[in-house]
Each structure stands twice: as structure tokens, then as C-alpha cells.
Amino acid sequence: MKFLFAAALLLLSVFGMEESIDILDIINKQLESIDPKEMHDGMVEANPKYIEQMEEERNQILKEAKEYYKDDSDSEDLAKDETYINEVYDQLIKESSVIESVEEIAKRIEGGKKMIEAFKIEDQEAQDAAIKTLMMEQVKPEEDKVEAEKQIDEMLKGMRNASNSFKSMIKQMEEYKPTPEELERQEKISSMLKELFQQNVIKVDEENENVEEDVKIESETEASKDRLIKQADIDYDTNNPIYG
């Protein structure tokens, strides 16, 4: 059951209706820009390489497990870990090997659009009902619908509680008024940080001035050396019989 998309959208409700609608519209535009055939072809092309990468990951983890369990006494623990690792990767590779058809991808995109529209419903109960209906449509025939409905109800309840708690916390923060003592402490901290920042700026400026002075002295020294070398060349050439 693929409920992650709905769960992610439900989290957006903590931002408030206006902000959520803006984000939902952006997601909707992204969904509309997806070409099911292009997506399918891309998955077909990338799938072999993806499975190859998972096999490499599996081998690397198995190698690290063998290095971790070096002693003979750890052989039983190593065998358990190897079994678990192989089971996990066998399942991942099996699921990844099944590529959705163009029609299935198109259906999933349309389902995402409908889910976005459901989240735009302002009434909370009506919104939950619409979301639940759409999520139940995603349940496959071979899956237990009663168990699926139970999971959906628990997810909606949990996410809604989390959303309401977050909103309540934000509201309390907005309504909170600091005491005079807290304001004074904040002012002191702000003043200390400002002073520290200014000290660092002055220190950096002084260091830059020292560097510039060193560069200037070094440049003048190099220039003096060049003049001495040129003068020596001239004196040498003047005394040369060729120039006599």
C-alpha cells in the first residue's frame, strides 16, 4: 500500500491553509509535467543499473559483517546477520524488478492530483473522509481491506494529532510575552554578541593591514634586488672589452 504521498501531504496542513494550497499547487504542476511513457522508459532503462547497485551494496554489507565477526565464536551471529541481509535485499530487488506500466503510472499521477484536491477541502472531517476514500482505492485486491482501513484510520488520526499539536505550539509561541527580566537578559546577550562581532571585525582588519604591509615591504625589497642586479649587469658590460 502506497500511503506515503498522502502522509506527506497531510504534514503540509501544519503550515496553514493558504501556505499549504501554494505548496499543493506547485506539486500539482509537477505531477502535470510528468509524461507517463517517458517515466516508464526511464525506469526500464535505469532498472538494471539500480539492481546492480543494490547487489554491490549487499556484497559490501556482507563483507563488512564478516570483518566484524572475525572469531569462530561469532559464526552463529554472522549467519543470522547474513540471512537477514539477504532477505532484505532479496525483497528490495524483487520489488524493484517490477516496473509499473504506462497505464499504472498515469493512474498513479491522476490519483496524486485527486489527493491534492482532497487536501484543499477546508472542513477537517470532510477532508479526512475524502483522503480515506482515495487511500482505500489504492488498496490492492489481494490485500486485506479491513486491515488497510484500520491502518489508514490510525495514520490519519496520528497525523492529525501531530498537526494540531504543532499548530497549538506555534500559537503559544506567538502569544507568549517575555517578562522584563527575560527581555533584559536577551538585550545583554545581544549586546555581548554585537561587541564580540565588532572585536572580530577589528582583528581581521588589523591582520589584513599587517598582511598588506608585509606584501608592500616584500615588493619593495624585490624591486631593490632587481635594480641592484641590473646595475651589476651594466657595470659588468661597461668593463667588458667588447664595449670598451
Do 134 and 120 meet the contact criterion of CB atoms below 8 Å apart? no
pTM of the model: 0.52
Tens of pLDDT, residues 124-155? 889 888 888 888 888 878 888 899 889 888 88
Angle at 26 between CA 24 and CA 31, to 5 degrees: 90
Q: Report domain extents, the chain.
A: 4-174, 180-243
Q: Please choose, from the candidates 144, 50, 34, the residue with its C-alpha nearest in 3D space to the C-alpha of residue 99.
A: 50
State the number of CA atoms in the 13 A half-sphere of 162 facing the CB. 12
Q: Alpha helix locations (H) across the chain? A: 4-11, 17-32, 36-68, 75-97, 102-119, 124-137, 145-175, 180-239
* SS3 sequence of 47-88: HHHHHHHHHHHHHHHHHHHHHHCCCHHHHHHHHHHHHHHHHH
Tens of pLDDT, residues 81-138? 999 999 999 999 998 888 889 998 898 888 888 888 888 888 888 988 888 888 888 8
